[in-house]
Amino acid sequence: MNILVLRLGLNSLHYAYFRHYERQPVKHPARRIDRSRWHAGNKYVDILREMRPEESRLAPLDAITIEAKYGGVMFTGPVRADLAVLEKLKKLTPCAPLHVPELVELVQACQEVFPGVPVVLDFETAFFVSLPDREHSLGVDADIIRDPNFRKFGFYGIYHEAAREYAWECWPDIRETSRVLSLCLEPRPEIAAILGNKPVMVTSGVTPLEGLPGHTTCGDLDPFIVLSLARMKKWGPEQINDVLTQKSGLLGLAGRPVTIQELFESNEEEWIPVQDLMKYRILLACGSGIAAMSGLDAIVFSGRYASAGKKLGPWLASRLSLRGSRKNNVYWDWYDEPIDQLLADRAVQVVMTSPLAVTK
């Protein structure tokens, strides 16, 4: 089965072809098209038409799968994008105004350029629709937030689900209690506590800005800081947003760009304070996750910097080998399957087994 995987970034479109039975990208490594190369007008149609000859040299496509960053509470799993799904998706525009319209445009472009090829939408938030009320609720006026989509989500559900499955495969003896901490090491890292097969805690918030600090994002902040910046610096919301999302996190702390992997694999002295801060935040979040699950069986690192788990894993497992843990011993490992592969695998499942949308 031949699958085209598409992932939309804020300024790029990433794509990869998979021949599913080989479980490897076909011929070409994953590619990225930057916004600077986008055409005006039907940008995605033009881009996909450019890709078309490449695709025809391989074999006819059996499915296209698109990573959708946000699906609100409506989408609880991957779906085949039909008219009804697109209509539901459009209703989520106020919750993710930068992402949803682009996503809809991309789906429509796929349908135009590759007519008859099923398009699958795979939502990163779907795994977190089942978060308990007490975890996803916010401490603000309930009447202000009548929209059910205004709540906490996680934003790397596909990695977290895969990490939980990996834990079950690796350590079958944990299945009974199944208390897994999933540390997704992406540019905006995220930790989820998964009890059984459902998440019970996640570090992200209404947006991925809350939680652990990222490459350029601030993570958890006293909400009063946002207001103080407006007052002290006389900054407007856009300026504050720019600082919190583009100039903070590891960049703001280290003073230069650094990835999570570089940070934890480095022995440079100047980065020790940043390492200490990140490790501390990770430890705090893991403690919360353990309290949420009333225990811990395994830790799994995933994401593009999963291998940083080699350094973090032994340290974290020793710090979290608590009294009630499995024989005072916590399993840990890292899982480095790329997101493109995960998306392709999941698309095959959807196309073969679930012809209809899974929506609330």
Give me the least distance between CB of 151 and other proteins, in Å please: 10
- Note whether 259 binds other proteins by CB under 8 A: no
Q: From the list 10, 98, 322, 352, which residue makes contact with other proteins (rule: CB under 8 A)?
A: 322
Interaction of residue 97 with other proteins, rule CB under 8 A:
no
Q: Does 290 bind other proteins (CB under 8 A)?
A: yes
**What is the rounded distance in angstroms from the CA atom of residue 126 to the CA atom of residue 48?**
27
Does the footprint of other proteins cover residue 269 (CB under 8 A)?
no
Range 178-217, binding other proteins (CB under 8 A): 201, 205-207, 209-210, 213, 217
Are 52 and 113 in contact by the 8 Å Cβ rule? The answer is yes
Token pair 């989820």 in the structure block, residue = 192
Please pick, from the candidates 10, 84, 98, 138, the single residue that binds other proteins as defined by CB under 8 A: 138
Residues 130, 137, 197, 349: which binds other proteins (CB under 8 A)? Answer: 137
Q: Report DSSP state, residue 252.
A: H
* 103-108-112 Cα angle (round to 5): 145
Residue among 60 and 237 whose Cβ is closer to other proteins: 237
Q: How far apart are CB 319 and other proteins at their closest, in Å?
A: 7
Binding residue (CB under 8 A) for other proteins from 175, 280, 314, 352: 280
The dihedral through the CA atoms of 132, 89, 208, 304 has a sign that is positive
Residue with token string 């539901």: 88
Please, are residues 162 and 180 in contact by the beta-carbon 8 Å criterion?
no
Give the C-alpha separation, 79 to 293, whole Å: 30
Size of the site for other proteins (CB under 8 A): 75
313 lines the binding site for other proteins (CB under 8 A): no
- For the chain, what is the radius of gyration of the CA atoms? 21
DSSP 8-state code for residue 75: B
> 223-232 and 237-246 helices cross at what angle (nearest 10)?
120
Closest distance between other proteins and the C-beta of residue 311, in Å?
17
CA quadruple 122, 147, 152, 9: dihedral sign: positive
In whole angstroms, the minimum distance from the beta carbon of 146 to other proteins comes to 12
Handedness of CA 284, 163, 186, 224 (dihedral sign): negative
CB of 106 to other proteins, least distance (A): 24
- Asked whether position 174 contacts other proteins by CB under 8 A, the answer is no
319 in Cβ contact with 343 (< 8 Å): no
Among 15-23, 51-59, 70-78, 235-243, which window interacts with other proteins (CB under 8 A)? 235-243
Q: Which helix (H) or strand (E) holds 334?
A: strand 331-334
Tell me which of 126, 320, 342, 343 binds other proteins, using CB under 8 A.
320
Quick one: which segment of 14-22, 41-49, 315-323, 350-358 binds other proteins (CB under 8 A)? 315-323
8 A C-beta contact, residue 171 and residue 294: no
Rounded Cα distance between 93 and 125, Å, is 15
Residue in this structure with the two tokens 């930057």, named with its chain if needed:
34
Q: What mask, x for binding other proteins by CB under 8 A, covers residues 324 to 353?
A: xx----------------------------
Least separation, in Å, of the C-beta of 232 and other proteins? 5
- Site track 28-67 with other proteins (rule: CB under 8 A), x = hit: ----------------------------------------
Query: Segment 215-234, which members bind other proteins (CB under 8 A)?
Result: 217-233
Among 1, 284, 317, 358, binds other proteins (CB under 8 A): 284
Q: Which stretch binds other proteins (CB under 8 A): 117-125, 165-173, 242-250, 340-348?
A: 242-250
- Tell me the angle at which helices 309-319 and 272-293 cross, rounded to the nearest 10 degrees: 50
Calculate ∠ Cα 11-15-20, nearest 5°. 155
Figure out which of the listed residues 30, 45, 58, 277 binds other proteins, where binding follows CB under 8 A.
277
Query: Which of 38-46, 103-111, 157-165, 239-247 is the region at the interface with other proteins (rule: CB under 8 A)?
Result: 239-247
